[in-house]
């Protein structure tokens, strides 16, 4: 099998995690190649692209690549909470545009992108990963990064058994979504729906993203539920009017489907000569199955750790492991709590959703946005708890939470 290129780093997967890591490594002056199985960056789309304006701005994503949302409607079978924003906080990404923007940044920094290149296995020598095997041959590198999303193609490979890097995810959000041209759908409002008849153990959404386009989808958690999201989304399209989502005259332009690990992030992100980032190691927030900005953070954080290790010519686990520690320190508490909450709410029945939504209605729009952002320990929460106590809601609060 021919050896194709020698690199400082090879990244398997050109999603947001892989592209963000590529840019960081290339900016550090390192030779980096990204191998992507698809023939187009950001395609096929496997995400609905919901996010937060201030987070996207902080990550440097230009405003023309996301669509602002000024109202969120949260619907349970018998209740509703509505949050209006004079200044929008939520947004929906032009996913292909945003992912290609990340690719442009990586290329401008000096990274190489190889499309239509499927990574099959890590090359393991003397206990270190030294690159990858693809359908076309070997690509050798001092460092290899698994950014292949929920498949964790390299980390799960049997040749790495000794390194115990397989994240071992068993619980996944499984989604099915139509991207429609919907001339009459409200472009300012995102709708989230829960309940057994709409999205057993998960939730459904209608996310407008500009140009009269809207993504309407359903995500369920397997194995908590065995519901088929394809069937759920067909039903949702038929019932949309009942939920105030106007799909009159709408036609689908794309169908998307995908998986996301719905677990606490992996115990290990690093081995000798290899790092895992993004969904491959469960960096997303399992509160809502939201992972794009987390993947970008992971790619950049891992890229910095990896650049230091490469510059010191030591890519042992000991040099790469700081990525795990930095991640846990910065995001761990919120992400672990998000996962605990998700485990709990995915088991709620319709009556419990209806009841708990009374509590949600007491949140201000800003507080709701902070909670959705997985900011689960912020000052806003203490303020909210304080305001409930002042209003004499303490007993009600305890009753509804327990």
Ligand X SMILES: Cc1cc2nc3c(=O)[nH]c(=O)nc-3n(C[C@H](O)[C@H](O)[C@H](O)COP(=O)(O)OP(=O)(O)OC[C@H]3O[C@@H](n4cnc5c(N)ncnc54)[C@H](O)[C@@H]3O)c2cc1C
Q: Which of 51, 100, 144, 367 binds ligand X (CB under 6 A)?
A: 51
Comparing CA positions, the residue from 202, 201, 156, 152 lying closest to residue 177 is 202
DSSP 239-303: HGGGGT---TT-EEEEEEEEEEE-SSPPS--EETTEEE-GGGGT-SBTTTTB-HHHHHHHHHHHH
Q: Does 118 bind ligand X (CB under 6 A)?
A: yes
The minimum distance between CB 296 and ligand X, in angstroms, equals 8
> In the block, which residue shows the tokens 């995915």?
346
Instruction: Note whether 49 binds ligand X by CB under 6 A.
Output: yes
Tell me if 273 contacts ligand X by CB under 6 A: no
DSSP state of 227: -
Asked if 295 touches ligand X (CB under 6 A), the answer is yes
Q: Does residue number 180 form part of the binding site for ligand X (CB under 6 A)? A: no
Residue that has been written with the tokens 């041959």 in this structure: 137
Question: Is residue 301 within the footprint of ligand X (CB under 6 A)?
Answer: no
Q: Do β-strands 274-276 and 66-69 pair in parallel, antiparallel, or remain unpaired?
A: unpaired
- Take residue 368 and report the two structure tokens written for it: 């709701």
The answer to whether the CB of 117 falls within 8 A of the CB of 36 is yes
Of 134, 57, 66, nearest in space to 97 by CA: 66
Please give the residue whose beta carbon sits closest to ligand X in the complex: 291
Binding mask 312-341 for ligand X (x = CB under 6 A): ------------------------------
Binding window for ligand X (CB under 6 A); candidates: 14-22, 80-88, 310-318, 344-352 = 14-22
Among the listed residues 32, 35, 91, 185, the single contact to ligand X using CB under 6 A: 35
**Interface residue with ligand X, options 13, 167, 202, 276 (CB under 6 A):** 13
The distance of closest approach from Cβ of residue 401 to ligand X in the complex, given in angstroms and rounded to an integer, is 26
- Identify the bridge partners of residue 26 per DSSP, sorted by sequence position: none
Our CB check for ligand X shows the closer of 37 and 79 to be 37
Q: Which of 165, 260, 301, 371 binds ligand X (CB under 6 A)?
A: 260
Determine, following the binding rule CB under 6 A, whether residue 216 of this chain makes contact with ligand X: no
Cα 138–chain centre separation: 30
- The distance of closest approach from Cβ of residue 391 to ligand X in the complex, given in angstroms and rounded to an integer, is 33
Our finding on whether 282 is near ligand X (CB under 6 A) is no
Could you give the CA distance from residue 268 to residue 323 in angstroms, rounded to a whole number? 10
E strand or H helix that includes residue 310: helix 292-311
Instruction: Say whether residue 202 binds ligand X (CB under 6 A).
Output: no
H or E segment to which residue 164 belongs? none
The nearer residue to ligand X, 272 or 283, going by C-beta atoms, is: 283
Interface residues with ligand X (CB under 6 A)? 12-18, 35-38, 46-51, 118-119, 147-149, 151, 153, 173, 175, 177, 219, 258-260, 278-280, 284, 289-292, 295
């Amino acid at each position: 099998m021919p050896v194709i290129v020698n690199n400082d780093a090879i990244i398997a997967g050109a999603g947001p995690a892989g592209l963000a890591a590529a840019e960081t490594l290339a900016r550090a002056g390192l030779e980096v190649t990204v191998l992507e199985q698809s023939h187009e960056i950001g395609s096929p789309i496997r995400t609905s692209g919901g996010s937060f304006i201030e987070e996207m701005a902080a990550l440097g994503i230009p405003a023309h690549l996301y669509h602002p949302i000024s109202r969120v409607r949260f619907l349970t079978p018998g209740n509703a909470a509505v949050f209006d924003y004079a200044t929008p906080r939520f947004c929906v990404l032009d996913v292909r545009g945003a992912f290609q923007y990340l690719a442009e940044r990586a290329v401008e920094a000096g990274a190489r992108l190889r499309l239509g290149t499927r990574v099959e296995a890590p090359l393991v020598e003397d206990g270190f990963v030294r690159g990858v095997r693809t359908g076309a041959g070997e690509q050798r590198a001092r460092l290899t990064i698994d950014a292949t999303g929920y498949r964790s193609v390299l980390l799960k490979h049997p040749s790495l058994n000794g390194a115990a890097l397989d994240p071992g995810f068993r619980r996944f959000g499984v989604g099915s979504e139509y991207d429609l041209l919907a001339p009459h759908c409200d472009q300012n409002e995102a709708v989230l729906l829960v309940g057994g008849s709409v999205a057993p153990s998960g939730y459904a959404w209608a996310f407008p993203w500009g140009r009269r386009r809207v993504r309407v989808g359903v995500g369920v958690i397997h194995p908590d539920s065995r519901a088929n999201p394809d069937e759920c989304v067909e039903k949702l399209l038929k019932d949309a009017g009942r939920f105030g989502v106007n799909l009159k005259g709408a036609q689908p332009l794309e169908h998307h489907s995908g998986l996301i690990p719905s677990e606490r992030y992996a115990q290990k992100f690093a081995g000798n000569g290899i790092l895992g980032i993004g969904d491959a190691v469960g960096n997303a927030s399992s509160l809502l199955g939201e992972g794009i900005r987390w993947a970008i953070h992971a790619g950049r954080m891992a890229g910095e750790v990896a650049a230091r290790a490469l510059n010191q010519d030591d890519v042992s686990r000991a040099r790469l492991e700081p990525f795990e520690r930095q991640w846990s320190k910065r995001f761990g508490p919120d992400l672990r709590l998000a996962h605990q909450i998700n485990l709990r709410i995915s088991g709620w029945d319709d009556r419990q959703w209806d009841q708990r939504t009374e509590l949600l209605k007491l949140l201000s729009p800003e507080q709701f946005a902070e909670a959705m952002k997985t900011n689960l320990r912020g000052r806003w929460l203490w303020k909210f708890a304080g305001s409930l106590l002042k209003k004499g809601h303490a007993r009600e609060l305890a009753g509804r939470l327990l």
